[in-house]
Amino acid sequence: MRRLLVLALVLLGALATAASAPAAPSDPFQFKKYFDTTEISGGVENVRQIAVNRETGNVIVYERGRLHQFDAEGNAVDFPATGSPTIEGVNGGQALLIDNSGSANQGNIYVIDGQGCCNFLGERFWSYGPDGESLGTNPHEELGTSSFGIKSAWIAADGQLYLTGYDYSTVSPHVMPVEPEGPAAGPMEPWSPVAGEIPFVQDDLGHLYAPGTEGTFARYDFTDNYTYEGETGLPTASPTVLDPSTNDLYQRQNTKVVGIHYSDPLVKSTPFEVLAGIAGGDDAIALDETGETMYVGEGTRISIFHREPASAPRDLGELGVDSIRSNRADLHGQLIAGGVPTDYYFEYGTDTSYGSSSTPQDAPFSHFEVKVDGGIEGLQPDTTYHVRMVATNAAGTTYGPDVVLHTYAVPEGGPDPCPNALARQQTSARYLPDCRAFELVSAKDTNGYDVESSIVPGQQPYPGFPEATDRVLYSTHSGAIPGPWNPTNHGPDPYLATRGADGWNTDYLGLPADINPEAGSFSSALGEASARLDSLAFAGPGLCDPCFASGIETGIPVRRSDGSLVQGMAGSLDSSVPATAMPEGKVAKYFSDDGTHLVFASKYAFEAGANEGGDLTVYERDLAAGSTEIVSTDTSGAVLTGAGISELDVDDDGSRVLVAKRVAVNDENEYVHPYLHLSGTAASVDLAPGTTSGVLYAGMTGDGSRLFYTTVDQLLAEDTDSSADLYAAAVDGAGTLDLELVTPTNSDACNPVGNEAGAHWNTTGSGANCDAVAVAGGGGISADSGTAWFLSPEQLDGAGTLNQPNLYRADPGGAPSFVVTLEPDNPLVLDSVAAAATRRTADFQATGDGAFAAFVSDLDLAGYEGFGFLNVFRYDTGADQIGCASCDTSGTTDHSLAADSFMPPDGLSLIEDGRVFFTTKTPLVLNDANGRTDVYYWSGGTPRLVSAGTGPFDSALLTVSNDGTDAFFFTHDTLAPQEDHLGPLMKIYDARAGGGFFVLPAEVPCAAADECHGPSSPAPSPPDIKSSGPTTRGNVLVCKKPKVKRHGKCVKKHKKKHHKQGKRGKGKRHA
């Protein structure tokens, strides 16, 4: 029956890479690959017809008015006549036929238009030779009659092309033989099959399969004038192909292929399933010469299937975890079933021996990789489990890879053990850690205005002040808070919330709008507040002019802790200073932490010896003592002169002020010559003796005894390279300098990788170098220990990755030790290089003792999937270990709620005991169920929810207090309904350990008539019942003998008179 047996064997050899075993007709079709359509101009869309040239094995595909040619493996093949794999301009496409008769017409390609509009009802078709050459003039429309409407076509065993359709003059099915070039080869004749809009099928046994009278394919004897043999059972709605190896019929029915077996005589049968799980398309299907390879159109792709023996399930990829609760997990995976029915289930346990399994489920019958899902139940809370998927069928069992998940802990039930349980209950804080309760910090009445917050893009709230015990500084976004004050209401006004015994109270700390009638409209632009909110300095555009009625009119108004408003720019010579004097130059930090010392710069002489020729002088004023000192001096005590005199820092108590003179400016970075001034001395300490290029200041300890900077200058003999190194300058109480090289390597042989900012991550220039980069704004210096944290492209202790941003730490006098390698586009890297003087607490924080550091990264540094989002990490120096504070450790692969986690932009996250507070959208605990950003802290590997986790709005951390007692955050949620009547306005809350203010609920008025009758009559008091004994007073009257009680009184007892009694006798009683 096979005319081209040798050719068929050649084609099978071409598929040897796809077929793993000899095929048998009973073997299932297995998916092998997709066609490569990349060489097709415009790609392939909506594949409508497929046909196979059984002589060459080439596959012809029709889509969008085009024919494409591919080889048996799905690679594009040029038509020899056109030099292209595509023939354009072919309309219609209701039927695509290839002549496989072996006649002179072998390989001809025919495209039938059964729904056209030309001549009459689509009386046209296209024909091409196997080389792509047009046969005659396409399309062929002159068929010798105008009453014949083409519906379909078929090719006889001798290569004769027959068009089938209707003779609309008689409204009856007819058939017409035509030549490949178009002319009719014979007259239109009636025939018995019903015309249909699909290709008919003819086998090599003389049978023609065509629409029958019962809505299914019928079989006709082609050799006997189309004698009707009966119905097959296959519907006529879809194209049907013949398996040349078995004469079985296969039919595409949307997402599956069904078939019927050949029988003689014909027996109508129920179709069986051949292939399932394919993507819906336009029903394109074809078989090769052997019947072992099937081509299926699936929309924009064409799939190759090959008959192979059933295989064990395969391609069990990594298990996906969709959701995790305290006692169950929802899972999904993928597999290829292997061509036969397949079951799958999940094994799980606390180790890789598993021990438990879910109920087996049926896998979808598919030859592609398909997604399967299910769940495991009965898990224990707060427990780590190992899980894998198992798939099994008749050919074998396959095990998927192990994954680890962790169930959520269940919040403790039972009575709240906290002493503030009532306040926690009233603020829905029952499950917060550390006996925390919510307290409304911002004003209870903001006059309908939102508090300025970091949640709203573009707003700039005041910083958090972790050292300010029970104090929070905030402002409203447009508008004033009602109260006994007179706010300027011209831009943000500073309000101070202070915690008292009964709650938080707000006071206005800005400039009073009526400070001077001549000032007009002005702002309370805040220059800086001291770390403990003891003092506020106003400096910026739009201040009152004048603010003060005498002396310097504006200057720097300072609000002291006692509420007084004083002029900060003052000195012993201020009477000679012009009233219009204003602060000038760069003052990076106005206040000492205790708020007692104020630094300012001016071109006027406030003290003797100051510059008077226009150069700036930096002063420090002791606000408590009322004295002012010049601090911008050199080692001889002379006042620094020239351009670019500035102040960079001041220590905690104001006894040490760092001043500098500009050397150069590169982009946003200012390189300076630094001097440290010690209070009470005229001379200052030169911190970088011999510098010519200047230094980038990198921070100092809280007491100002150790200061850090980077420079390319070789200030010590051991520094021999030209790249920037990190130096530490230690200054003792006598002003003696001890200079130390923190980065001791001497190499310039680096080629740091680039990032979004430039060619090399560690520099703003284009040249490669080994520059060390300090954490911006002094954020990399531990305030107490003097530990320095910095970045370097070098492998300073043999660890890290060369040319990448390696984070190191170095204790005083110690060698650098490697912490972690960050991504080149990490915010810490970008910000520290671009703007070295700007502190960003969202990038990096370190504890004062150097024991811990916190930073963000989108790398998976702790073994948990971050899905490319930023997470907050903590480095523990003692354990030399990195932990991920914000990572979802449950093992879920559902990242629909994943987003960047972050520390506050200007507040504290990391406290001395190692706890890390942060904001994230990812639900890390069971009771975080709102899908919004919430505030957490992480300790001992466990995340703990600090905000509510249940409200409809986002929450974001402002700051945590130094000891972690207070966690201040922004939110629109109402968390203390007993005092918060602001609705969805933005406000500030405190999740305070041991906090909360219980408010006794108001008495509820009666709601019904029977409840409103007022108080009932009081019940009578109980009777005073006492003992009735003879010596006891009481309400029982007792009479002494011989008296008796008569009518409530004691009276004498009367003797009875005895009368004589008749004959009855003495003493005789009668009734």
Residue 15: per-residue pLDDT: 37
| Residue 551 to residue 549: CA distance in whole angstroms | 7
On whether the CB atoms of residues 169 and 162 are closer than 8 A, the answer is no
Residue 526, CA distances (Å) to 462, 463, 802 in order? 9, 11, 44
Token readout for 925 is: 């605990």
Q: Check if the beta carbon of residue 979 is closer than 8 Å to that of residue 440.
A: yes
d(CA 936, CA 917): 6
Strand, coil or helix: 462? coil
For the sheet containing 916-920, what is the strand order?
A: 916-920, 934-939, 942-945
> What is the distance between the alpha carbons of residues 856 and 322, in angstroms, rounded to a whole number?
25
Q: Other C-beta atoms within 10 Å of 624: how many?
A: 12
Q: Which of 858, 861, 827, 859 is nearest to 845 (CA)?
A: 827
CA atoms within 13 A of residue 425's CA, in its CB half-sphere: 13
Going from the C-alpha of 559 to that of each of 463, 527, 599, 776, the distances in angstroms are 17, 12, 15, 30
* Residue labelled with tokens 């008025």: 1005
Nearest-CA neighbor of 59 among 76, 42, 83? 76
Q: Report the relative pairing of strands 817-821 and 844-846 from DSSP bridges.
A: unpaired
- The number of angstroms, rounded, from the C-alpha of 598 to the middle of its chain's C-alpha atoms is 43
Amino acid letter for position 861: L
Q: Got the DSSP string for 918-987?
A: EEESS--STT--SSS-EEEEEETTEEEE-S-S-SSS-EEEEEE-TTSSEEEEEESS---TTT---TT--E
Please tell me the predicted confidence (pLDDT) of residue 1068: 35
How many degrees, rounded to 5, is the angle at CA 56 between CA 51 and CA 60? 25
Q: Take residue 269 and report the two structure tokens written for it.
A: 């049968």
pLDDT tens for 848-900 read: 999 999 999 999 999 888 889 999 999 999 999 999 999 998 888 778 878 99
Helix (H) or strand (E) holding 831: helix 827-834
Helices (H), 407-501: 421-426
> Residue 86: phi, psi to the nearest 5?
-125, 135
Q: Return the closest-CA partner of residue 905 out of 464, 608, 601.
A: 464
| Other residues' Cβ atoms within 10 Å of the Cβ of residue 1039 | 13
Are 704 and 658 contacting, i.e. CB atoms less than 8 angstroms apart?
Answer: yes
Residue position matching structure tokens 């929450």: 955
Among candidate residues 915, 977, 984, 981, the one with its CA nearest the CA of residue 946: 915
Residue 973: per-residue pLDDT: 96
Tell me if residue 33 falls in helix, strand or coil.
strand
CA angle, residues 441, 444, 448, in degrees to nearest 5: 120
Q: What is the pLDDT of residue 1047?
A: 55
Measured CA to CA in angstroms, residue 405 lies from 4, 321, 322, 402 at distances of 58, 8, 11, 10
Q: How far apart are CA 773 and CA 792, in angstroms?
A: 6
Q: Integer distance in angstroms from the first to the last C-alpha of the chain?
A: 144
- DSSP class of residue 421 equals H
Distances (CA, A) of 842 to 187, 779, 828, 910, 945: 87, 10, 9, 11, 19
Amino acid at 727: Y
What single letter denotes the amino acid at residue 197? E
Helix (H/G/I), strand (E/B), else coil: 76: strand
- For residue 6, what is the enclosing H or E element? helix 5-14
Q: In the numeric block, which tokens belong to residue 581?
A: 């004097």
Handedness of CA 928, 933, 935, 940 (dihedral sign): positive
Which of 29, 712, 664, 597 minimizes the C-alpha distance to 306? Answer: 29
Tokens of 230: 């009966």
- ∠ at Cα 484 (480, 485), nearest 5°? 55
pLDDT 10s digits, 331-363: 999 998 887 889 999 999 999 999 999 999 999
Measured distance CA(366)–CA(362) in Å, rounded? 11
Q: How far apart are CA 519 and CA 619, in angstroms?
A: 27
> Domains in the chain, please, with CATH?
110-122+136-199 (no CATH), 320-406 (2.60.40.10), 523-686 (2.40.128), 688-840 (no CATH)
C-alpha 321/C-alpha 329 separation (Å) is 7
The residue type of 420 is N
Whether residue 674 has a cis bond before it, omega within 30° of 0? no
Rounded distance between C-alpha atoms, residue 442 and residue 464, angstroms: 14
Residues of the chain with pLDDT under 70: 1-22, 114-123, 142-147, 192-199, 237, 281-282, 366-368, 1004-1071
The number of beta carbons lying within 10 Å of the beta carbon of residue 1022 is: 6
638 touches 631 (CB < 8 A):
no
Residue of 367, 498, 493, 418 lying closest to 29 (CA atoms): 367
Write the CB contacts of 911 (distance below 8 Å, at least 6 apart in sequence).
Answer: 847, 917, 960, 962, 963, 964
The residues, any chain, with a CB within 8 Å of residue 909's CB and separated by 6 or more, are 841, 845, 854, 872, 903, 916, 917, 918, 957, 960
Q: Is this model's pTM higher than 0.85 or not?
A: no
CA–CA gap between residue 387 and residue 290 (Å, rounded): 44
What is the arrangement of strands in the sheet containing 684-686, beginning at the earlier edge strand? 586-587, 645-650, 656-666, 669-678, 684-686
What is the chain's length?
A: 1071
